Amino acid sequence: MNINQSIIDRAEQLKAKLQEASYAYYVLDNPIMDDTIYDQLYRELQDLETQYPSLITSDSPTQRVGDKLDRQFNSVAHNIPLYSLENAFNFEELNNWQNRWQRQIENNPNFNYICELKIDGSAIALTYENGIFIRGLTRGDGVMGEDITHNLRTIRSIPLKLNMDNPPPILEVRGEAFFPLEEFNRINQEREKNQEDLFANPRNATAGTLRQLDPKIASERKLQFFAYNAYILPENNCFDTQEKALNFLQQIGFLVNPNYQVFADLNQVKQYLDIWEIDRKNLPYMTDGVVVKINQFSLQNELGFTQKFPRWAIAVKYPAEEMTTTVEKIIVNVGRTGAVTPLAIMKPVTLGGTIVQRATLHNVDRVRELDIRVGDTVIIRKAGEIIPEVVEVIKDLRPANSQPYQMPSHCPECDSILVRPDNEAVTRCVNSSCPAILRGSLIHWASRDAMDIRGLGEKVIISLLDYKLVKSIADLYKLQDFEIKDLERMGEKSAQKLITAIEDSKKQPFNRVLFGLGIRYVGAVNAQILTDSFQNIDNLIQAKKEDLERVYGIGEEIANSVVEWFTIVDNIKLINELKILKINFQSDNNSNKTDQKLTNKTFVLTGTLPTLKRNDAKKLIESAGGKVNSSISAKIDYVVVGEDAGSKLEKAQKLNLKIISESDLLDLLNNN
């Protein structure tokens, strides 16, 4: 089979990068790549070699069980090879694994599955002779491990003597050493104070600690250990099932993760996977998936091993928050404020459970910093953002003859010259007639948190603009149903409903109207604060910068933006048109004077509340004069916590912030 040269080059680049990462991790003890990124690049190389077998070479990372050993430690042969696990990244791959192992069994056996959380630490093999701990090894290359007994003796959950009367001559125990999150955070805080490099994650910190030459360091760091396998040698046939092995380990003194369960089939396994994808965020240690094993040892022995993996077990990894993909092209998007944002259009990948094809590059400075180019392999991250961002370019995998990306000099929508205001990172189109700015303004005006015009989505707005039916926000309120009934996907009934929804939006309160105008830096919270303070649009237009800055929650940046917006003639013209059209520019004095019980109080909401939706709770707080932030800091007055609260709760506890429930919040609103 003829192979394109670009594919050959890609395979060689992947081999080199993976070997470099392995050397840094295992030999230099200085990781240069996150484990999830390594797994993805490894999978890409594996797929290429499967499709083109001639690419397989003896030095390929796919052709060995583990990696090189460090010369600082003595290498010792494992009593039983310590294999790594095959990975599955979705239920389909898990089902394929089941089909594979079942094809290798002649008779349909009686079996069940046992699921155990995959602890994100370092795999360890412990050897006990006559009940006494004599040696502990790292995985190493799977055949030989590094002797780190001196450090493992410092882990309190590893018994130095087994809790049994007649111990076997040799007992081999497998498990995972790991960092509890509380201890990991404590150590990083200490390292920060001492101006030392921080550990990237608990797994890297665990590996680095176990391979310290001085056991005092390991002792101070308080690692933990979960045991998950036991072998009585040389027979190795003392247990019927993995479940019994775990019970045995608990009885003889080991800490076993309590969250394992036995299931009859993969449908039950899937329910377990779905539950722990959420619940794992509340655990005091890191997990990155679930290990699914055939419970019966007789069936495990019959299936045996491949060159690298046991056939009877697989690790199901949860969706990554970071992924690698390749850049297919780079475009720019013009927003409602004229901001021109570069976007990477990429080969689609699944990230955080959703398919992602584009990622923000923020601005021209970020583009230059990344030196991102078409064809690059990039790491993208989805951390709560709707559009993920590119966090790193893997330049070792860059194709030959790639060219640096140049931002356009003219707006792609209206061909106006783009400008970059002083002291701003953002490039802008300053043509107020730019179709992109008008389109974005209309979409924002109709959005749920602004005028909430049901049926007026982006596609309808684009149609209205294409047919030149609207040229401003005010034109929406002049539309007639006969003008829009022939638009795509509209019809008479839908047209009537849309006209009714537009008319009903006139009833929206002043704070929503102000937010809908799209003044820079004036979000929903600040709009509420401004309308409460100035009562009507005329007072706000006449307000000076110092008047605005005297309002709690309104800083210099917001004040400047508001004053500047009202100096633009077209904006005042729009306000006057909307007044004539009966848009509400007046606060309801009665509602605004209603018990502002939470004035000057700042809240953070986290987790799922029992009865209130997050947005409803936010509105209640803001209507009572409070402010809702998205992130934890020492300035937060209350943290409202529901089910499945994650890292925000942990940060709040460390800062000793006031933590309250939904019922506590309602008490504050009713009884303060």
Measured distance CA(263)–CA(276) in Å, rounded: 15
To which H or E segment does residue 11 belong? helix 5-26
pLDDT value at 445 more than 50 = yes
- Least confident interval from 13-22, 164-173, 457-466: 13-22
pLDDT value at 405 more than 80 = yes
Mean pLDDT of 89-105: 90
| Per-residue pLDDT, 258 | 93
Question: Of the candidates 229, 237, 285, which has an alpha carbon nearest to the alpha carbon of residue 254?
Answer: 229
pLDDT-based confidence at residue 563 (cuts at 50, 70, 90):
very high
**Contact 313/303 with Cβ under 8 angstroms?**
no
- Report the largest interatomic distance among the alpha carbons of the chain, rounded to a whole angstrom: 93
pLDDT in tens, 475-495: 999 999 899 988 887 888 999
Question: Of the candidates 521, 527, 541, which has an alpha carbon nearest to the alpha carbon of residue 619?
Answer: 527
Measured distance CA(283)–CA(358) in Å, rounded: 32
Whether 161 is a known active-site residue: answer no
Q: Which one is catalytic: 15, 17, 68, 118?
A: 118
pLDDT-based confidence at residue 66 (cuts at 50, 70, 90):
very low
Mean pLDDT of 461-474: 92
- Tally Cβ neighbours within 10 Å of residue 150: 14
**Contact 248/228 with Cβ under 8 angstroms?**
no
Measured distance CA(471)–CA(515) in Å, rounded: 20
pLDDT in tens, 303-361: 988 877 899 999 998 876 788 999 999 999 998 888 999 999 999 887 766 788 888 89
Contacts of 457 by beta carbon, 8 Å cutoff, 6+ apart: 443, 446
pLDDT-based confidence at residue 29 (cuts at 50, 70, 90):
low
Measured distance CA(414)–CA(496) in Å, rounded: 33
Our CA dihedral for 304, 310, 312, 318, rounded to 10 degrees, sits at -170
Our CA dihedral for 26, 29, 30, 35, rounded to 10 degrees, sits at 40
